Amino acid sequence: MRRLNALLRYCVIALLVVACGHSHNHTITQSHNDTVTDDYGRRVVVPTHPQRVVSLSPAVTEIMFALGAEDLLVGRTDFCLYPDEATDIPSIGGISNLNIESILALQPDLVICGSMVGKKVTNQMDAMGTPMVCVIEKPKFEALYDNILAIGKLVGKEREADSLNECLIALMNDCLSETTHPNDQATRQSRNQATTPSVYYVVGFGEGGNFTAGGNTFINDIIRMAGGRNIAEGIDGWSYSLEALMKEDPDFIIVRREDSAAFCNSKPYNRLSAVKQGHVIGIVSGTLDLQVPRNIDAILYLRQRMQSTQ
């Protein structure tokens, strides 16, 4: 863990150096515009150096803080709770029931949204003349770096985005080496899939249905990188049958910490081997379900928890 702490300090120092370099070498101005193509294929004219940004995505908010661009944020949603300082920014409310008037009242020169914002809202914002760019979650883990670069470019923090990505890649490699025994590579090559611990990630459960992350999600990549096999890797989307879950009876269950007790105490989930054996891993919200830098924390944490029982 000492190497991880050293890398974290390096990341902070590197970003501060880049930020200082920017402050000396660039004059922020509102006189230029760029045209960008967002993740929905929309061509949007945006200010080169926006000064008032509203984030409609917890992932966007977290990445902006990681880039040192939090001073540009004038609005967020109720779900933008990380880091703690984000709660000091005025909220415009929920995401599914966005209040357009509340957004416009903040007089943003740029709005950045994520996957939860639909076409109806983007059309409304376009009609109002306020540029909205959509940076959505993508199926592969590595797309995290693309999203960081995209947001960095939008808010005039390209160099910071490059530096952050370099740090995250180095940190991830160090995380994996910290939790991998020198002989593990040869061991893994000799193993077959059946010896890899099976994992189920709880998105939703109970009377409303069972939901998890299928094989076409970045969460599936995180589970694999953490050393597990997602039992839902063969499905597309999020719906999973209770019968399949009980039949697969995975070695580990991953669930948001705040939902862990309810899941373990509910029938029929309390009959799962992972529940009986204490192999339910409660994970901090946002580290796994959002495509953000903290995904690397999730990989390290899951690897440590699963390896500690082997």
Domain boundaries, the chain: 9-165, 192-307
Q: Which two tokens stand for residue 94?
A: 């929920």
β-strand pairing of 198-202 with 229-230: parallel
In contact, 280 and 193? CB cutoff 8 Å: no
- The stretch 45-59 carries a mean pLDDT of 96
**Residue 306, pLDDT above cutoff 60:** yes
Torsion sign over Cα 164, 146, 86, 36: positive
- Mean pLDDT of all residues belonging to the chain: 87
Query: pLDDT category, 8, cuts 50, 70, 90?
Result: low
From 15-29, 221-235, 293-307, the region with the lowest mean pLDDT: 15-29
Q: What pLDDT does residue 309 have?
A: 72
Supply the CATH classification number for the domain 192-307.
3.40.50.1980
- The stretch 242-246 carries a mean pLDDT of 97
> At 248, which amino acid appears?
E
Q: What pLDDT does residue 105 have?
A: 96
From 63-72, 149-158, 166-175, the region with the lowest mean pLDDT: 166-175
Residues 6+ positions from 62 with CB-CB distance below 8 Å:
80, 82, 83, 86, 286, 290, 292, 293, 294
| Side-chain-side CA neighbours of residue 215 (13 Å) | 7
| Omega of the bond leading into 268 within 30 degrees of 0 (cis) | yes
Quick one: how far is CA 71 from the chain centroid? 21
Query: pLDDT category, 185, cuts 50, 70, 90?
Result: very low
9-165 and 192-307: same fold?
yes
- The stretch 112-139 carries a mean pLDDT of 92
Tell me which of 3.20.20.70, 3.40.50.1980, 3.40.50.720, 3.40.50.970 is the CATH number of domain 9-165.
Answer: 3.40.50.1980
Q: What pLDDT does residue 96 have?
A: 84
**Residue 297, pLDDT above cutoff 80:** yes
Q: What pLDDT does residue 24 have?
A: 37
Query: pLDDT category, 291, cuts 50, 70, 90?
Result: very high
For the chain, percent of residues with pLDDT exceeding 70: 83
In contact, 82 and 62? CB cutoff 8 Å: yes
**Residue 4, pLDDT above cutoff 80:** no
Report the predicted TM-score, pTM, of the whole model to 2 decimal places: 0.86
Q: What pLDDT does residue 11 have?
A: 64
| Side-chain-side CA neighbours of residue 270 (13 Å) | 6
Q: What pLDDT does residue 148 have?
A: 98
Q: What pLDDT does residue 26 have?
A: 35
Query: pLDDT category, 235, cuts 50, 70, 90?
Result: very high
Residues 6+ positions from 143 with CB-CB distance below 8 Å:
137, 218, 291
Q: What pLDDT does residue 188 have?
A: 46
Q: What pLDDT does residue 310 have?
A: 60
pLDDT in tens, 55-104: 999 999 999 999 999 999 999 999 999 999 999 999 999 998 888 999 99
